[in-house]
Amino acid sequence: MQGYRNLQIVDGRNGDWIKNLIEAADSKRNFVAILKQEADLKILCEALDCDPKLPEILGRWGLHALADLLEPSDYTQLLGIYEHSPVYLVEQLRLGRNHPPRCKPFILYCEMRGIISDHNTWEEACTSLLDYLDSFKRARLFPLAGIYNFSDSRWNRVRKMQSS
């Protein structure tokens, strides 16, 4: 399980942004993408296999909601540009590139942070969730972590903590 880190920013207004975009996606953590123009969303989705839902555009209140997950300088930068450049939250759960077999069929996922770990069995995922809650004290600030199972061609949150 990876340690805590703030959301990464990928600035699509720079030259190597596709390479940086793929590196951020490979981390399996959610991240923020700044685009040059709205039309660049198509390029982002082709590179990352958005499936089928597009990343969520962030306005002022969305950025305020992410304040605790961003470096202060990134937060300030995003508040200064969101009206001029499209800013998106890219959620790993919504990327087709994270479907099995690339990911195992069970994941521990935090809606704010992204994929924490992936597992072959429900039992392994439960153990990982308990370890996450025990070892990562900031998990109390991110209560949206849970176990997801890939079935019916999509990720579904496991609602009950009992084996099937």
Joined together, the tokens standing for residue 161 give 């903590």
Any domain includes 163: no
Peptide bond just before 101 cis, omega within 30 deg: yes
Q: Quick one: 38 and 117 in the same domain?
A: no
Q: Quick one: 115 and 145 in the same domain?
A: yes
Q: What is the pLDDT of residue 4?
A: 59
Q: Of 65, 95, 125, which residue is a domain's last?
A: 95
- Cα–Cα distance, 129 to 142 (Å, whole number): 13
Any domain includes 164: no
Any domain includes 46: yes
User: pLDDT by residue for the chain (164 residues), tens digit each?
Assistant: 455 578 999 999 988 899 999 999 999 999 999 999 999 999 999 999 997 678 999 999 999 999 988 999 999 999 999 999 999 999 999 999 999 999 999 999 988 889 999 999 999 999 988 888 777 666 566 557 889 999 998 999 997 665 54
Q: Give residues with Cβ within 8 angstroms of 140, minimum separation 6.
A: none
Structural domain span for residue 46: 8-95
Estimate to the nearest angstrom the gap between the alpha carbon of 153 and the chain centroid.
19
Q: What is the pLDDT of residue 111?
A: 83
Any domain includes 144: yes
Q: What is the reported pTM?
A: 0.88
Q: Quick one: 116 and 61 in the same domain?
A: no
